Amino acid sequence: MLTAVVAEAGGRGGRLQDLRADGTAAGPVRQVGDLAGAIGEREAADHPRWVWPATADIYPGLLRAGVRVARCHDLELTEALLSGHAGRWGEPRSPAAAHARLHGLPVPADPPPRIAEPPGFAQAALFESAGSPVAAVDIEVVREVCADQIARMAQTEHPGRFRLLVAAESAGALVGAEMGHVGLPWRADLHDELLRELLGPPQPVGPPRRLAELTAEINAAFGAWGLHPDSPAEVVRAFARAGIDIPNTRAWVLKNVDHPAVRPLLEYKELYRIWTAHGWAWCDSWVSQGRFRPEYVPGGVVSGRWATRGGGALQVPKSVRRAVVADPGWRFVVADAGQVEPRALAAVSGDRRLAAAAAAGDLYAALATDSFDGDRAKAKVALLGAMYGQTGGAAIPALAVLRKHYPTAFEFVEQAARIGESGGLVRSWLGRTCPPSSASWRDAGLDPPEEAAEPVGASGRARGRFTRNFVVQATAAEWALVLLATLRTALEGSKAEMVLFVHDEVVVHCPAEEADRVVAALHESAVTAGRLLFGDTAVRFPLDVAVVDAYAKAK
């Protein structure tokens, strides 16, 4: 059973209507004065799939009212997936825009992106997301757009897969809202302690003492004065004056430079990033009542990976994680899925020999034993080279071995590259479609390893590098998302709470006595996610799981 939901802007009430499986009306529209209460009662009775304009607009208000739901259909997220699948990437995705397209009317622009505010600044109205009030939407619009989306999903190339993608994306939106509501345990006193260890005491004006010391050391190494190490342009010019040409100041570039300024410069970059992104000002703004509560954005980048609005939850430096400590009597269960992208390639390509290697705990080691004379490093270079389009250096002989021994997997990414080079679109396993162009790996939301961290321009070859990786990384993101949705269901009825999700890593906060149950649920969810996506495959997606009282101890 589906139930459509709209909330009254700035109020507590709203409207509900039951829908059939095809999205058509199955009952009258009901006006309710307490929407959260009505949803809570109905959820307890029969757990319908709630259909609403956007989870980010409605669900946080429900959570504040103590109401959780099991399932939903997020119209905004689904519209983005369907529009992309139809080759209309970037079109307005709000229900109002989808409804206008359905009726041949002028399409309104989407409202401005929601702006996250730190904890303590939430609006008073129940159904308002931080920084942006919920726009009024007619329930007739919700009903018609839902029916239209269900019909369009049935017309995709692989309807079953696409329905799984929509369900997982919507479930991810629920998880994201729940994690933001619960928050990640964070000790402000430990945060202050570690900042003082790394940076020295905070200064009323200017950078902390350690940054000032490193600035002086860097200037001395260059024989200069007044150089700002946080300015990439100034640093590049300083190296040029020293007779060293570098394209940028990324760490992987600097590590290959022989100059006395490199060591202090690398330390400065790391500490400056901590000070500006997770320093004292960050802690004062984002940590409240012992919790860090960011706003997660499921599907925030083109590959399906998540983003955040404010707080930087997906980029917490290892040195800062010492402040993430479990509540007394509780534990963190930290699960990290290694080598997900190579395993996804093995599954989607249908390469039986690569799938056999991916049945092992260490895919690269198995690959090395099978085809690379036991050389794990060479096997890794070959597989990453195929996925990221590396064609030079040490990758050349390694790729030749890969092409010979795993031709099906090699041809899979090569075909994706050819499609991209010719201006075509590629899809993930479940049907997420790549955008028509990209400026760089990172601008497109794709994160290559340092070995492949080169700019991507507008050329066909560069476009091919993007699309060859998209089919793998987006599929790996789908596996992780289905894992998350499956785990959420498995944890129902326990006190365990998911508190962090970063690409291939999940962190669960739970009472110590529930840790074993959570560990078992994680392993089972990993297996289930692989089966739901790929059916009967030899490929395994093993998890490295640790039970700790502090997040930093899991690494």
- Radius of gyration of the chain, Cα coordinates, nearest whole angstrom: 25
* Cα–Cα distance, 532 to 57 (Å, whole number): 29
Average pLDDT in the 80-85 region?
Answer: 96
Q: How confident is the model at residue 311 (pLDDT cuts 50, 70, 90)?
A: confident
Q: How far is C-alpha 413 from the chain's CA centre?
A: 22
Of residues 411, 421, 412, the one with CA closest to residue 465: 421
Distance in Å from the first CA to the final CA of the chain: 44
Distance CA 300, CA 473 (A): 14
Per DSSP, helices labelled H in 242-319 are 251-254, 262-278, 280-286
What are the φ/ψ torsions at residue 508 (nearest 5 degrees)? -115, 135
Q: Which of 162, 136, 165 is nearest to 151 (CA)?
A: 162
Find the angle CA(268)-CA(271)-CA(276) to the nearest 5 degrees. Answer: 115
What is the pLDDT confidence band of residue 479, given thresholds at 50, 70 and 90?
Answer: very high
The number of residues in the chain equals: 555
Q: How confident is the model at residue 390 (pLDDT cuts 50, 70, 90)?
A: confident
CA dihedral 530, 525, 509, 45 (to 10 degrees): 120
Looking at the chain, the whole-number percentage of residues with pLDDT higher than 90 is: 79
Mean pLDDT calculated for residue range 407-414: 96
Give the torsion through C-alpha atoms of 205, 208, 213, 218, to 10 deg: -90
Mean pLDDT over the full length of the chain? 90
Measure the CA–CA gap between 333 and 342, rounded to whole angstroms.
25
Is residue 124 predicted with pLDDT exceeding 70? no
Q: Bridge partners of 511? A: 330
Q: Facing residues of 383 across strands?
A: none
* DSSP assigned state of 25: B
pLDDT score for 1: 77
The residue-averaged pLDDT of 454-473 equals 78
- pLDDT, one tens digit per residue, over 179-216 is 999 999 999 999 999 999 999 999 888 899 999 999 99
Q: What single letter denotes the amino acid at residue 534?
A: F
The identity of residue 342, as a single letter, is P
- Is residue 359 within 8 A of residue 539, CB to CB? The reply is yes
Kindly tell me if the per-residue pLDDT of 447 is higher than 50. Answer: no
pLDDT tens digits, one per residue of 422-443: 989 999 999 999 998 743 344 4
